[in-house]
Amino acid sequence: MECYPLLFDPILMERLWGGTRLHEVLGKPDRGAGIGESWELSGVPAAVSVVSNGLYSGEDLNTLIGTFGAELLGTRVLERFGGEFPVLIKFIDAREDLSIQLHPDDAMARRRHNSFGKTEMWYIMDADPGASLIVGFNRDVQPREYQEALAEGRLTELLHYEPVTEGDAYFINAGKIHAIGGGILLAEIQQTSDVTYRVYDFDRRDAQGKLRELHTEQALEAMDFKQRDDFCLAYDRTVTGGQVLADTPYFTTHFLHLTSDTHKDLSDRDSFTVLVCVDGTAEVVLKDGTAKVRRGETLLLPACAESLTLRTKSCKLLEVHL
């Protein structure tokens, strides 16, 4: 495989709650208001990413996996996931509150949907003053109490609201009730899954005037009713270099704050590497080519890359691998 950094065309998703910041702040194509998500790197069958640079321009991610296998994914990744790309990278612009929702774990998703579950993490790239997330319950809740509050329109009384600012990071495990609040722009790293159980949508209607589907029964089965303070990802924002943000069975994410050129040895990784630029710019150098990345762009480095050079004066990156 030609070993160079792969850029992909963003896949823009219209959402009821979407805004304009994906274009205005991150430079995505202008599709007007209501664009809520930019899928940066996706193997989801209905929305597979297509390479936009170099020798493989025009090829989609799943075709490259079928052609190059372990050279692209890594041997152990290929053995574990059988050719499915295991993570989905997005930018999300919430002009309004998202629905209150949760996701199933692997076992339930496999049983009900023939899919992976959905564990995810968020990095806040921009937030209006007073913006917040919903992350879990504000105390331990009994299932019957939850059902009564939902039926009576009092669900929000049971939920924990977490104020956010730029640079905050959060881990959202499967089963945790959550929602992204209005006024937040974030990067999302998640398992490859598009399974969401929506439990409350503020009685909003879509463009056809219809209420969106709720998934009350499935959510009840998947939900963790305990209050857990396990979602904030702490790191030292004053440190330059790299530090671990999240180390999970599904993905590992490092935060790289770089102020000078950096060289990294990847020879023992046996995994692809994803670089998500959340601030600044960098030139990414592999043995067969280079690519520039700026805020709001995502690169895929094939597993065959044994080393990496990052040329920059100021850049913040989320580095993701398995």
- CA distances in angstroms from 27 to 5, 91, 294, listed in the order given: 20, 12, 10
pLDDT digits (tens, 9 = 90+) for 88-135: 999 999 999 999 999 999 999 999 999 999 999 999 999 999 999 999
CA distance 201 to 213: 9
What pLDDT was estimated at residue 269?
A: 96
Domain residue spans of the chain: 6-222, 241-321
Residue 73 has pLDDT above 80, yes or no: yes
For strand 100-102 and strand 197-200, is the pairing parallel, antiparallel, or unpaired? antiparallel
Looking at the domain that runs over 241-321, which CATH code has it been given? 2.60.120.10
Shared fold status for 6-222 and 241-321? yes
- Greatest CA separation for the chain: 60
Claim: this prediction has a pTM higher than 0.95: yes
Q: Are 6 and 71 in contact, with CB atoms under 8 Å apart?
A: no
CA distance 158 to 138: 6
CA distance 120 to 213: 22
CA distance 311 to 318: 16
Percent of the chain with pLDDT over 90: 96
185 DSSP β-pair partners: 93, 126
Which tokens belong to 234? 């702490």
Q: CA 166, 170, 171 angle in degrees (round to 5)? A: 160
Helix, strand or coil, per DSSP, at residue 77: helix
What pLDDT was estimated at residue 208?
A: 83
Residue 207 has pLDDT above 80, yes or no: no
**Distance in angstroms between the alpha carbons of the first and the last residue of the chain:** 20
Average pLDDT (282-302) is 98
Would you please indicate which residues are annotated as catalytic (active-site) residues?
A: 198
82: left (phi over 0), alpha (psi -120 to 50) or beta: left
- CA distances in angstroms from 245 to 45, 235, 248, listed in the order given: 29, 7, 10
What pLDDT was estimated at residue 206?
A: 79
Please name the CATH architecture into which domain 6-222 falls. Answer: Sandwich (2.60)
Give the other-Cβ count within 10 Å of 275's Cβ: 24
Which tokens belong to 282? 């960098």
